[in-house]
Structures are given as C-alpha cells and as structure tokens.
C-alpha cells in the first residue's frame, strides 16, 4: 500500500491517468491525496471528477478555489466563463451527484499518525492546528448544507485578510476561504496579500511567501499544498511540499509517493 500526493490537475485528465500509470498506482490498495483544483482551465474536468468519485475511500481531497468556483457556477452564483471549460460538466447527466460529492469534501486534511497536513493554498501563519481544523469544519458544514448557495454568495471578499478572534462569523469564514484556497503572500504583520501571483524571485519585501513566515504549526508536520505553479525553481524549506507543477499552463503534473519520497512527473500533452 502506497500513498501519493498531487495537486492542481485542472481538468488535465489524460496527463493525470498517465501519471498514475507511471507510478504503478493501484486503485485497489493505494491512496491518493489531492490538494485541490481538480477542475477548470484544462479540457476534461468531468472525467477527472468522475474518476476520483469512483475511487471512493481511496482518495482524500481538499477543495481548491477552482473547485469552489465550479460549485458556485453550478448554483448560478458566478458566471460560467469560457476559460473554465465547464460546459461538458454542467450538461452531464451525473452533474448533480458529482457536485454534491464535491461540496461535501474538506478544506483541510490532517493525519496525526504520520504528521501530515494538506490544504490547497496553505495554512495561515496566524493559525495553530486546532484553529485550522475548526475553521475548516465550519466551512464544510456550510458547503454540505442544502442552502450552501446562500453561503457562497457571501464568500468572496479580498479585504478580509487578517485573523482576529473578534471577527464575526461571516468574516471568519471569508478569511478561512481566502487562507485555505487563495493565499500566497503575507505582509510582515501576517496580513494576506490576495493579489500577487508571481514567483518569489520577482516579488520584494515586505511581501513574503506564507511558508516563510513564522509558523504556529510544529515542524514535525509535513505540509502539502498546491495553488502556486510559479513556485517552480524556488527554494521551499522542509517541512513544506509544493505540488503544483503548472500542467494546465503547458508544464507538468507532479506527484510524490510518500513511502520512499519518490517524485513522478507527466508533461502536458500538446493537443
């Protein structure tokens, strides 16, 4: 039995299945941990989600910003833009079943035995593990509720970028969504910057990548995240593992097998 970690498949179904084949992934005994953004940008989000849904308890998923966007588009809250490539998904006969499965997924996975943490964008430097767990559960409760669309209508606010106990419930949820699914850079006081996406090689002080900020998470934990394809070639210290290889931008999918720390990659296929 092996455990594999990857992220940001972004609808690149062919590359995804080829990567699994390269690694000898066995869907009867191995496990996949996927750090979000299953969909959008690539051409075949529908089959990515269908395949992962078929794996049932062999896959552990956290939602990314594009996965949440799909749910919002499905519910009529956000516009279905051309670059999403959602039309096939939204017209499929099993869309209701797949969307309901997606919206019941987590924002955070923690394996205390192996000391593993996974979220899409990362963990706020203002949070300890217990705070992160509480915030993730609060979002999951709203997303899995039958009135989830009311929650999503209020979720998007770039100005909620600092964690305080005095935040009201709505702003607490907004901050958590931003931290779990959209965060990249922080200011020295730990405020999130929600706009810069470039490589750290091109961004100067006072902005710092969230994973270089002082952390409240004990260093015994390995922290897996995606979301940030421009990190390629950037120094990332242990215990952080960046999983976004930028496949949907013409680069590659990357995957780590946990037991022997072996990396696998599959380049983007020219169409």
Q: What is the pLDDT of residues 114-170, one digit of tens each?
A: 999 999 999 999 999 999 999 999 999 999 999 999 999 999 899 999 999 899 999
**pLDDT for the residue 238:** 87
Q: What are phi and psi of 166, to 5 degrees?
A: -80, -5
Q: Is the peptide bond before 239 cis (omega within 30 degrees of 0)?
A: yes
The residues facing 32 across adjacent strands are 4, 59
The residues facing 60 across adjacent strands are 33
Measuring CA to CA, which residue among 5, 261, 253 is closest to residue 111?
Answer: 5
**pLDDT for the residue 111:** 97
What number of residues does the chain have? 271
* pLDDT < 50 stretches in the chain: none
Q: What are phi and psi of 220, to 5 degrees?
A: -70, -15
pTM: 0.96
Phi-psi region of 190 (alpha: psi -120 to 50; beta: other; left: phi over 0): left
201: DSSP letter: G
The continuous run of DSSP H or E covering 179 comes out as: helix 169-181
Domains and CATH numbers, the chain: 3-267 (3.60.21.10)
Q: What are phi and psi of 49, to 5 degrees?
A: -70, -40
**pLDDT for the residue 271:** 62
Measuring CA to CA, which residue among 219, 127, 231 is closest to residue 179?
Answer: 127
């Amino acid at each position: 039995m092996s455990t594999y970690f990857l992220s940001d498949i972004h609808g690149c179904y062919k590359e995804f299945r080829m990567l699994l084949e390269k690694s000898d992934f066995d869907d009867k005994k191995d496990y996949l941990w996927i750090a979000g953004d299953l969909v959008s940008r690539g051409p075949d989000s529908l089959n990515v989600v269908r395949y992962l849904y078929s794996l049932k308890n062999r896959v552990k998923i956290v939602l990314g910003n594009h996965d949440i966007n799909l749910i919002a588009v499905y519910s009529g809250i956000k516009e279905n833009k051309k670059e999403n490539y959602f039309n096939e998904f939204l017209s499929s006969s099993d869309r209701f079943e797949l969307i309901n499965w997606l919206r019941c997924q987590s924002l955070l996975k923690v394996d205390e035995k192996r000391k593993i943490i996974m979220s899409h964008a990362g963990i706020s430097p203002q949070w300890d593990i217990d705070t992160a767990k509480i915030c993730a559960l609060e979002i999951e409760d709203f997303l899995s509720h039958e009135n989830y669309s009311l929650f999503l209508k209020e979720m998007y606010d770039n100005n909620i970028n600092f964690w305080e106990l005095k935040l009201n419930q709505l702003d607490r949820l907004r901050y958590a969504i931003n931290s779990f699914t959209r965060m990249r850079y922080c200011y020295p006081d730990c405020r999130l910057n929600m706009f810069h996406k470039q490589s750290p090689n091109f961004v100067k002080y006072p902005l710092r990548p969230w994973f270089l900020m002082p952390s409240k998470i004990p260093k015994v934990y390995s922290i897996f995240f995606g979301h940030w394809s421009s990190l390629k070639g950037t120094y990332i210290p242990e215990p952080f593992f960046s999983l976004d290889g930028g496949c949907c931008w013409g680069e590659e999918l990357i995957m780590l097998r946990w037991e022997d720390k072996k990396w696998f990659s599959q380049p983007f296929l020219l169409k």
